[in-house]
């Protein structure tokens, strides 16, 4: 008997990829212009979540300044030109995505990054083909943590909430899933503080733990046989 389709929705930064090294390079390009202290990898990781714009605002705020629109644009432009220099997949991502696809999961990405940029990053890292849909923050009316972003990503995959599970490392992933009645798995290897996973349905310690956790949260259901 065929297995009913299940949908796994992935955040991008901090869940599928560690993008901090290239984001740090881009923001430090701006810091250099202002003769400000550079941003370390650890500091950048602590400021991630809610998209590149919010990241830049937080960096400047840490230094007692307010980021101007030109500063934010320069940072994002520099990052967009060099998004996959040192960015890497987290361990076991490709093999796990392959296993999930083989098990009948439909995979999609819901990211606050611009959609074309997210597409390009996934392609350069060799995993774009696993995803039926990539829904970026610039092609929706409002992006995460607004639940409508997640709802739109699911809609583009012709999916429903009762088929889906959200996987992410930040409250902007867990909270909207909860609002929509979608179970979630907190990616504890990412940038979010561990307490952000308190509202998740499950907590994953490693990416390769996801198939078993997804099966627990959204078990396979055999479709009814045709008469």
* pLDDT tens by residue, 168-198: 999 999 999 999 999 999 999 999 998 999 9
For residue 226, the model assigns a pLDDT of 45
Ordered by start, the domain boundaries in the chain are 6-18+87-217, 20-81
For residue 225, the model assigns a pLDDT of 39
66 by Cβ neighbours in 10 Å (0-12 / 13-18 / 19+) ranks as: exposed
For residue 222, the model assigns a pLDDT of 52
Find out if CATH 3.40.50.1000 is the number for domain 6-18+87-217: yes
DSSP string, 43-79: HHHHH-SS-HHHHHHHHHHHTT----HHHHHHHHHHH
For residue 50, the model assigns a pLDDT of 86
Fold assignment, 20-81: DNA polymerase; domain 1 (1.10.150)
For residue 3, the model assigns a pLDDT of 45
Q: Which residues have a catalytic role annotated?
A: 11
Residue 121's SS3 state is helix
Q: Is the pLDDT of residue 49 over 90?
A: no
Q: What is the mean pLDDT of the chain?
A: 94
Residue 130's contacts (CB-CB under 8 Å, 6 or more residues apart) are 97, 98, 101, 107
Q: What is the pTM of this model?
A: 0.93
| pLDDT digits 0-9 by tens, 123-132 | 999 999 999 9
């Amino acid at each position: 008997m065929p297995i009913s389709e299940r949908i796994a929705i992935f955040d991008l930064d901090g869940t599928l990829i560690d993008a901090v090294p290239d984001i740090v390079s881009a923001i430090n390009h701006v810091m250099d212009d202002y003769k400000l202290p550079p941003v370390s990898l650890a500091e950048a990781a602590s400021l991630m979540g809610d998209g590149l714009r919010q990241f830049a605002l937080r960096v400047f705020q840490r230094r007692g300044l307010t980021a101007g629109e030109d500063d934010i644009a320069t940072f994002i432009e520099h990052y967009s030109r060099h998004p996959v220099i040192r960015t890497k997949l987290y361990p076991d991502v490709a093999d796990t995505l392959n296993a999930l696809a083989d098990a009948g999961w439909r995979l999609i990405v819901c990211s606050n990054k611009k959609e074309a940029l997210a597409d390009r990053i996934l392609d350069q890292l060799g995993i774009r083909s696993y995803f039926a849909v990539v829904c970026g923050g610039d092609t929706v009316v409002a992006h995460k943590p607004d639940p409508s972003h997640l709802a739109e990503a699911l809609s583009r995959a012709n999916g429903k909430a009762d088929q889906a599970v959200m996987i992410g490392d930040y409250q902007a992933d867990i909270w909207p899933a909860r609002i929509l009645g979608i179970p979630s798995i907190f990616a504890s290897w990412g940038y979010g503080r561990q307490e952000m996973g308190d509202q998740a349905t499950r907590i994953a310690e490693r990416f390769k733990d996801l198939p078993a956790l997804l099966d627990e949260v959204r078990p396979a259901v055999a479709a009814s046989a045709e008469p």
